[in-house]
Amino acid sequence: MKIEEISINSKEYPQNLKNIYDPPKKIYLIGNKDLLYQKGIAIVGARDATQYGKKIAYNLAKELSEQNIVIISGLAIGIDSYAHKGSLEKGTIAVLGSGIDNIYPKENLELAREIIKNKGCIISEYPLGTKPERLHFPQRNRIISGLSDGVVVIEASKKSGALITAEFALEQGKEVFAVPGDINKKQSEGTNQLIKDGAILLTSATDILENIY
């Protein structure tokens, strides 16, 4: 399958992404680019997710995708993976912090193949051959939120990258939703704080549908 390049001056460049601060000058993608122009919700969260978090990510992604809402995430281990898996059948978007010929993490190479096979899409702002670098991941989070109509955080520690995605979403004028968690677990510290700070408390897909769509 061929890799496409879309520059910011192209008519094919997603308008949602063009509207953010510091939009990528070019995006590289493989798969079904039609997904980039549809309603989308980002689901992000902890890599060391609990079973509670994984179950919610999978079920929420599945329910939203069945409502023709595209799920966007970062292909990371944990919450991201389960969000992609839950929405796999309907097509999901994975945003990378490396070139799209350099899938990271390697554990999700098979999931990446499944995403493409199921008419999903993998995108990156980084040229082919770019290796995953630590600084790339906070940067790519602005694309995850930028492509979406809203961001859901399911489990996040106090210094989680998922909170960076939530910050980008707020800067971009998007709704932020957080799933409440067990107050005894570090994976709930970030999400519970988001709720204290004004994020919409999420208990079902209906909360998203009522607040955004």
Q: How confident is the model at residue 97 (pLDDT cuts 50, 70, 90)?
A: very high
Distance between CA atoms of residues 108 and 164, nearest Å: 22
Q: Between 1 and 125, whose confidence is greater?
A: 125
Question: What is the pLDDT at residue 142?
Answer: 97
Q: What is the mean pLDDT of residues 31-49?
A: 97
The residue-averaged pLDDT of 11-21 equals: 96
Q: What pLDDT was estimated at residue 123?
A: 98
Q: Indicate the average pLDDT of the chain.
A: 96
As a whole number, mean pLDDT of residues 24-50 equals 97
Average pLDDT, integer, range 135-158: 96
Given this model, what pLDDT does residue 200 score?
97
DSSP the chain: ---EEEETTSTTS-HHHHTSSS--SEEEEEE-GGGGGS-EEEEEE-SS--HHHHHHHHHHHHHHHTTT-EEEE---TTHHHHHHHHTGGG-EEEE-SS-TTS-SSGGGHHHHHHHHHTT-EEEESSPTTPPP-TTHHHHHHHHHHHHSSEEEEES--TT-HHHHHHHHHHHTT-EEEE----TTSGGGHHHHHHHHTTPEE-SSHHHHHHHT-
What is residue 82's predicted lDDT score, i.e. its pLDDT?
98
Q: What is the mean pLDDT of residues 116-144?
A: 96
Tokens of 47: 């890599």
128-153 mean pLDDT? 96
- pLDDT tens across 51-76, in order? 999 999 999 999 999 999 999 999 99
Q: Give the model's pLDDT for residue 1.
A: 74
Whole-number pLDDT of residue 178: 98
Taking only the tens place, the pLDDT of each residue in 149-199 is 999 999 999 989 999 999 999 999 999 999 999 999 999 999 999 999 999
